[in-house]
């Protein structure tokens, strides 16, 4: 292992209850005077969205609302969003909502100034250098879930509607200028969404920690993020009004997205094609795959997991960590097999073909080829650890 790396840590974060009132100030500080507010149809209809946009209105900041986004955004959502951005002569984006809205908002702000197609900026090699960095519009991100951490990320996930393949579009300039992380905005999440988004944050931390690259900064953030999940996710699922648990989970989401600049792995490499082909919830799909991928990687990560278990207050063994993970999944309602997500074997060949090509596969500590993808997928179908 080479002890070297290029590290980057994220955007300015305004964290705490009631910080949403600072939205107009954050918008102006980012250099915007006419933002496009990007969200999804469900969040657009919620009172908190009206309250947030009312803050802009009261501060004399004109805006338009764009919400034509699917739960797993597709490229045409971004195309329509860019058209709305240009038609309204907007000078930035307020991305408001869950991971899908945040990713879409960032991608709209990015693509509004580009002449090349979106697929030319996939997270492969140095493809990001193809972009015109000077035309990337600023973004202020306001998460309403605690999972993806997209509010501090430099990429967005979007599905090619023709090939049904999820792609990661990356550029350092996509990082939001500011994130307003107000845990009160997550209070309305139902238990299933709380569980799924929370396990998304956990999966980010776990895969970052297990990745076989030298990045001790990310490792430290990842293990503390997993401690916050261990101590707070079940509480947040059980009692959605528990503001302290909600706040800690929002921190865990930030930490997961900060840490995974080190690596992701087989969990995401399988979750992306399953999500694109079956339209499953990303975080819940990660949650189903997590123990199967962890067991597949055991020979490469057992020492790390023993140290992690000790930090989490468990017996310092791989088995103790696995038992805790399985118990948490059961407690918060994560299905043990893919059947719980209505995913069967009918598209296995497509999934096995797509998973090793996903950019996240390269971060898995054990080579994640077609054989590996098939092995883990079938175990997740059958419930065999």
Q: Tell me the per-residue pLDDT of 301-355, one tens digit each, with 9 for 90 and over.
A: 999 999 999 999 999 999 999 999 999 999 999 999 999 999 999 999 999 999 9
Calculate mean pLDDT across residues 195-217: 97
Instruction: Count CB-CB contacts under 10 A for residue 353.
Output: 14
Average pLDDT for residues 146-154, to the nearest whole number?
94
- The average confidence (pLDDT) of the chain is 96
What pLDDT score was predicted for residue 109? Answer: 98
At 289-305, the pLDDT tens digits run 999 999 999 999 999 99
Average pLDDT over residues 36-52: 96
| Rounded Cα–Cα distance for residues 26 and 35 (Å) | 12
Query: How many C-alpha atoms does 377 have within 13 Å on its Cβ side?
Result: 28
Q: 38 - beta bridge partners?
A: 66, 95
| Cα 360–chain centre separation | 13
> d(Cα 44, Cα 267) in Å, to the nearest integer?
31
- pLDDT of 1 reads 62
Is the Cβ–Cβ distance between 340 and 328 less than 8 Å? no
- Residues of the chain above pLDDT 70, percent: 98
* 178: helix, strand or coil: strand
Rounded Cα gap, residues 365 and 162, in angstroms: 31
pLDDT, residue 329, reads 98
Number of C-beta neighbours around residue 86 at 10 A: 13
Q: Which domains does the chain have, with CATH numbers?
A: 12-186 (3.40.50.1970), 191-382 (1.20.1090.10)
Q: Mean per-residue pLDDT for 109-137? A: 96
DSSP state of 209: H
Residue 8's pLDDT band (cuts 50, 70, 90): low
Instruction: Express as a percent the part of the chain with pLDDT over 90.
Output: 95
Tell me the Ramachandran region of residue 331: left when phi exceeds 0, alpha when psi lies from -120 to 50, beta otherwise: alpha
pLDDT tier at 9 (50, 70, 90 boundaries)?
confident
pLDDT of residue 5: 64
Across residues 62-75, what is the average pLDDT? 95
pTM, two decimal places = 0.94
pLDDT tens per residue across span 223-242: 999 999 999 999 999 999 99
Strands 165-170 and 155-160: antiparallel
At residue 188, the pLDDT reads 85
pLDDT of amino acid 252: 97
* pLDDT score, position 338: 98
């Amino acid at each position: 292992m080479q002890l070297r790396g290029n590290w980057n840590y994220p955007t300015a974060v305004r964290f705490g209850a009631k910080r949403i009132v600072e939205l107009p100030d954050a918008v102006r500080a980012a250099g915007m005077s006419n933002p496009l507010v990007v969200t999804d149809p469900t969040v657009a209809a919620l009172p908190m969205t009206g309250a947030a946009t009312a803050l802009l209105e009261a501060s004399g900041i004109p805006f338009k609302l764009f919400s034509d986004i699917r739960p797993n955004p597709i490229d045409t959502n971004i195309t329509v969003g860019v058209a709305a951005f240009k038609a309204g002569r907007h000078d930035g984006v307020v991305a408001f909502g869950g991971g899908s809205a945040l990713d879409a908002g960032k991608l709209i702000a990015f693509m509004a100034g580009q002449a090349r197609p979106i697929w030319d900026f996939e997270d492969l090699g140095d493809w990001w250098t193809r972009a015109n960095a000077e035309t990337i519009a600023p973004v202020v991100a306001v998460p309403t879930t605690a999972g993806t951490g997209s509010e501090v990320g430099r990429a967005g996930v979007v599905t090619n509607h023709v090939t049904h393949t999820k792609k990661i579009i990356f550029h350092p300039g996509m990082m939001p200028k500011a994130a307003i992380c107000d845990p009160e905005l997550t209070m309305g999440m139902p238990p299933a969404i709380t569980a799924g988004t929370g396990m998304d944050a956990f999966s980010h931390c776990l895969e970052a920690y297990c990745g076989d690259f030298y990045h001790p900064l990310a490792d430290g953030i990842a293990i503390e993020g997993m401690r916050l999940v261990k101590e707070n996710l079940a509480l947040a699922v059980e009692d959605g009004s528990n503001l302290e648990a909600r706040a800690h989970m929002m921190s865990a989401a930030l930490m997961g997205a900060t840490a995974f600049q080190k690596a992701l792995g087989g969990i995401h490499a399988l979750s992306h094609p399953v999500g694109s082909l079956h339209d499953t919830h990303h975080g819940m799909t990660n949650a189903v795959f997590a123990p199967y991928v962890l067991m597949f990687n055991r020979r490469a990560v057992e020492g790390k997991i023993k140290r992690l278990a000790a930090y989490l207050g468990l017996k310092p063994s791989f088995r103790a960590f696995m038992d805790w993970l399985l118990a948490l999944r059961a407690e918060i309602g994560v299905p043990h097999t893919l059947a719980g997500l209505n995913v069967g074997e009918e598209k296995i060949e497509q999934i096995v073909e797509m998973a090793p090509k996903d950019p996240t596969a390269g971060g898995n500590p054990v080579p994640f080829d077609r054989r590996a993808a098939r092995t883990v997928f079938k175990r997740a179908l059958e419930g065999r650890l």
